[in-house]
Amino acid sequence: MPYVYILRCSDGTLYVGHTDDLASREETHNDGFGARYTAKRRPVSVVYSEELSSTAAAITRERQLKGWTVGKKEALIAGDQPLLKSLSVRRRK
């Protein structure tokens, strides 16, 4: 099954990706072969994941999450639906 995931890096930053094998992918990141970004910020740990119906759906969700602010990603990780909803309100310029 395809997954989208969020890693917390050793420096506290977040990394979003997708995979078909979550446990293996975390290990790959921690071995320094996952992504250049995470290779410099090891160890990393999976703090959030979603199982999706297809690889295309996982890629779409990954792109969506990559566009979110850190605060919104943290609310998602924490499962704080009220905060996530309030952060999702479009602000007028």
Tell whether the model's pLDDT for residue 90 goes beyond 80.
Answer: no
Number of domains in the chain: 1
pLDDT surpassing 70 at residue 93: no
Does residue 91 have a pLDDT over 80? Answer: no
Mean pLDDT of 23-41: 95
- 59: in domain: yes
Residue 34 maps to a domain? yes
pLDDT tier for residue 25 given thresholds of 50, 70 and 90: very high
Identify whether 13 is part of a domain.
yes
What dihedral angle (degrees, nearest 10) is formed by the CA atoms of 32, 56, 1, 66?
50
**Domain containing 35 — which CATH number?**
3.40.1440.10
Average pLDDT over residues 31-57: 96
Domain extent, residue 49, equals 3-67
Q: Is residue 27 part of a domain?
A: yes
In single-letter form, the type of residue at position 70 comes to V
- State the average pLDDT over residues 67-83: 95
Query: Which segment of 37-46, 71-80, 82-91 scores lowest on mean pLDDT?
Result: 82-91
What pLDDT sits at residue 88? 86
Nearest CA-CA partner of 55 in 17, 2, 11, 13:
2
